[in-house]
Every structure is written in C-alpha cells, then in structure tokens.
Structure 1
C-alpha cells in the first residue's frame, strides 16, 4: 500500500541517511516495476555532489546482487556545452565514474546530451523525441542549486520549457568553479538541459536536498507559491513528487511545517502505508475494472457508481380555469332598512350648520 499525496517531504537527520532513503526507494521501485527488454524502466538521472551518495549506494546494492540495471534505460538531465566528452568535469565522465562503469546497465540504454553536437538545437529536439519513444520517464531523480534551479533551469526559466540550450547564470558559474580549480574562465558558460516541463512529464519526481546553503530553496518550494524564479517550486503541480532532505536543509522552514511532514510520515507508517507509488499496470487494471462496471448494463453499479438515482417526482395536476363575470365576484348589497342581525335602522335627522353652532353656544 502507498500514501498518495501531491507533495511528500521526507526528512532525515544526516545527508547520508537522505541518500540511503532515496537509493532504497529507487531499488524498490525498479523491483516492483519488474522491467523487461520489451518494457524497460525509464530512469532520469542528475549529476552534482548531492546524488553522489545515492549512486554509491546503488552500486553497492548491485554488487551485492540486490538490483540489476540490465533492463533500465537512463536519461541524464544536462551536459556542458563546449568541453570534450572525456573531460574530467563533463557529465559524461561524472556518470561513468560514479555509476555506469560499476553496474550492468547496457551502454546502448544510456542517454546523455551531446554538448559538442554540430547543431545543438537539433540535439535537444532529438533528446525529447528519444524520451517520448522510450515511453516517457517513470522516475526522474534530481538535485537542485542554492537558487532553487532544477537541472540547468535557472531562475526565470519558463515552467513549460523543454530540452534546450541554456546560458548559465553567474551564480551557477561561481558555484561550479570549485570543479574547475576555482577558475571562472575555465567554467563552461552554456549547457544543454532538459526543461522544467520535461521533468514534470515524468510519472514521478524524486529530489534530494541537503545542506544549510539550500535551505532557502527548500523553503520557497514548500511554503512559497509556484514561481518561475524558483523552478523547483513547479513540483507543487506534480501529482507524484517527493523531496528527501536532511535537517540542515529545513532550517528556513517553519517549525510547524517540519512537524507536519514528520507527523504525516509517522501516521502513514503506523497505518501500514509506505511512500512507494503503485505501478502503472496495477492502476490501469483498476481503471479498466471501473470502466467495465460503468459500461455494463447488468451491473448494479452502472447507474449508481457515480451518483445516487434521481428521486421520482409526481407533479400535481393544475385545475382548469373557469371564467366568470365581474358581477358574480361582487358580494350582494344589504337590503335597505335592514341593519346588522335584523335590526332596523333609523333615519338620522339633518340640520344646518348654524343651528349646530347656536346649539353648542347655548
């Protein structure tokens, strides 16, 4: 069983615990999916320091025989423009160093944007088409920058954006300079990146956020509104988004927000619910069952499944209007000389005005 929610925030004490939670989650999702060559599991992957612990755990699990990536197709989020593929800081090198070289994933199933393509726009269009033809991404793993960007969708990026060429913000260049001997001139100024909408199209999005330097970004995502200046906030619109953070990353959150999400996880666990998303195959079977019931004329639920039957109303018959004449509607005038209850009336004597005045003075 699983707890279905618009946004799930899982908080762990340390960064290593957050990474362990996500790696265990990914393993359970792949196993429950039961991928085959005909129906592989499509996994979106990030680079950077945040997911390193996750990849380390996945490699260890593979070597222990707990998980296979043989029937998994991967799509990476981004790649620098203009540096060689075998450059030590290219995302190709990162992925092979930390993950691909240590597991049984088929090299033909690995997809990473080519930052040295002759036509960069064509490369981006082809990448979107590859994702579509693969059947769409089942789970997209992501990390964020201190300014809340996901992939290389910097502040101000359209929330409907697709894979494209992106100029990097100065803050991102500074942040990445630690990988290039702290020399800003060596840091690539452009990248190819999946768009916000590309990530949102995935069936499930899981993001790891660790460290106090990313606390403001988490606060904007959880407690603020959807805002293209904090592209991570778009996850509020995703039906199956999950964020796993360490305690340091929650420093900007209100205390009641932290307590709320912790209590949600505690109650769900106590009730036997986990966070795992039900497989699409199981949900489709349930939908097919519902449609069959609705479409079956013999089913007692055919008329009552969505709404109770309407009550039978009996309308009263309006009587015909019979016209009559006006004099029939007027009451009969009393006969002259006859008072109330048969008493006789007497004539009132009339007198002139001066006689009344003189009588009053006398």
Structure 2
C-alpha cells in the first residue's frame, strides 16, 4: 500500500492525473467510482481536463441505497449522473449503478457482478472511506471475500450521511446494495482518498492496523496496486508519516500502467 499526503487539491489532481495517464496509455477502459465527499474533487478535476477520451469510459458505481427511487436527488443514480456522467460527457448507457429499487435485490446484486465481469473487470477503482472504516457500504465485520449484496447500514453510517438528507436521520435509508470487498479487490488498481479529521482513526486502522473485518478498508493491505491519498488531518494518527510521499511531488504518471 502506497501512501501519499498533500492538500485536498493536490490529492484530487494526483488521482485525476492517474486516471488520465492510464486512459492515454490505453490501460483504462472501465472506471469504478465512489460517491462520498472526498472523491468528488477528482471528478471535477477530470472534467476540467477536457480530455475527450473520457467519453469512451465504462463506469461502475460502488453502491446504492435500497428503497430510494432513481430520481431521488440523493440516490446514487442521481449523484453519479450529476457529478460524473454529465460533467465527463459520458454515455449514460455505459454508466452502471446497482439497482436499489429492484423488486428482487439478490438478483440485482448478482446481475451487477455479472455486468462487471462481462466488462472485463474494473481497471481503476476510486474509493473513499467511512469514519468506521467502511469502503463502499461494506460495514465493519463484512466478509473480506464478499461480493455485491444487500448490506444493512450501521447507525454511525446513517448519522454521518444524514447531512445529505437535510439532517433528518429518518430520511436516511437503512440498507443498500454494495459491491463486496472481494469485488473491490478484483480491480486492477485502487486509489482511495480521505480528507478531514473525522477519517483519521479509520485511516490509521486501515494503513497501520491489523488486517481485520473490524476495519473493512484494511483489506486494501492485500491489494498489490493500492494508493491511499490523505490530507494532513486524515493522516494525523499515522505513526510512520516520514515513510510517506508528498502527492504534490508525485505528479505525472506515478506508476507503470
């Protein structure tokens, strides 16, 4: 696991440059996107790049709430359309979000796994991390080999997400469809972005703690091509900060495609 620190704009620029580098070297055709607050500046940086090849991407979102209609402004169908599909000029038919409004959720989860596999798999997965260590909506004690499935949201996650629903906890769904940890590990490369002091404990557990389902994000310790991008507040509880690089000094194509 490679850790880079920097300001939020530097982190967004690094992640966007990584996507663009892989796109221009033809090693990226399928992009996985996360919808939390930390990754959103990455999509804005990509949109600002004006790169026409972005339109060729196929995109898979990590998760979706169960029970929200697709047109609800906080459904991830809407969020991905608003923050990714339209700004990047993507073909909506090539952008996929789990169907949390399906009558048969288990079938919808299986179909999502099939779609990812049929696409050839995800080349680069953008991730955020929850304050309790979740990635996607894989809550603590999820199986480290889990696949796309229905997951019950913890009280902590629902409280954290209430801000998107006008602060009304009763409006926050109680379950979701999410890619599993095993699905995420199948991606060829993962880039996780965390900003803010609220993420510091989870980040320390992910990077320096033991591999444990208690911190689902720690599964990224197993990934051979995982990069973690942190601002100073998110990195505050790391004990080996001298070992980490600065994102602002690691511009350009930082790895082989």
Same fold (TM > 0.5): yes
1:230 maps to which residue?
215
2:243 corresponds in structure 1 to: 260
Among 45, 57, 66, the residue aligned to 1:72:
57
Q: Secondary structure at the match of 1:50?
A: coil
Measure how far apart 1:122 and its partner are: 0.1
The unaligned stretches of length 5 or more in structure 2 are none
**2:27 matched to 1:42?**
no
Counterparts of 1:250-289 in structure 2, within 5 Å, are 250-254=235-239, 257-262=240-245, 275-278=254-257
From the CA coordinates, give the structure whose radius of gyration is larger. Answer: 1
Partner Cα distance (1:34, 1:122) in 2: 31
After TM superposition, the structure 1 stretch with the greater mean CA deviation from structure 2, 26-35 or 14-23, is: 26-35
Aligned to 2:123: 138
1-structure distance, mates of 2:246, 2:175:
42
**Change in 2 beyond 3 A, CA 1:97/1:265:** closer
For the Cα contact (< 8 Å) 1:141–1:206, is it kept in 2? yes
Query: How far apart in 2 are the matches of 1:50 and 1:223?
Result: 21
Mapped contact 1:173–1:189 kept (Cα < 8 A):
yes
Structure 2 counterpart of 1:153: 138
Partner deviation per Cα, 1:248-268 (whole Å, 9 max, x = no partner)? 1111011xx1111238997xx
Show the counterpart of 2:3: 9
Alpha-carbon distance, 1:180 to partner: 1.0
Consecutive unaligned residues of structure 1, counting only runs of 5 or more, are 1-6, 36-40, 279-362
Tell me what 1:317 maps to.
none
Candidates 57, 81, 88, aligned match of 2:45 = 57
User: Displacement of 1:104 after TM fit?
Assistant: 2.6
CA RMSD of aligned residues (A): 1.9
How many residue pairs align between the two structures?
257
* 2:151 matched residue in structure 1: 166
Could you tell me how far apart the structure 1 residues matched to 2:218 and 2:16 are? 23
Q: Aligned to 1:102, what secondary structure does the other structure show?
A: coil
**3-state SS, counterpart of residue 220 of structure 1:** helix
Change in CA separation of 1:86 and 1:27 when aligned onto 2, cut-off 3 Å: same
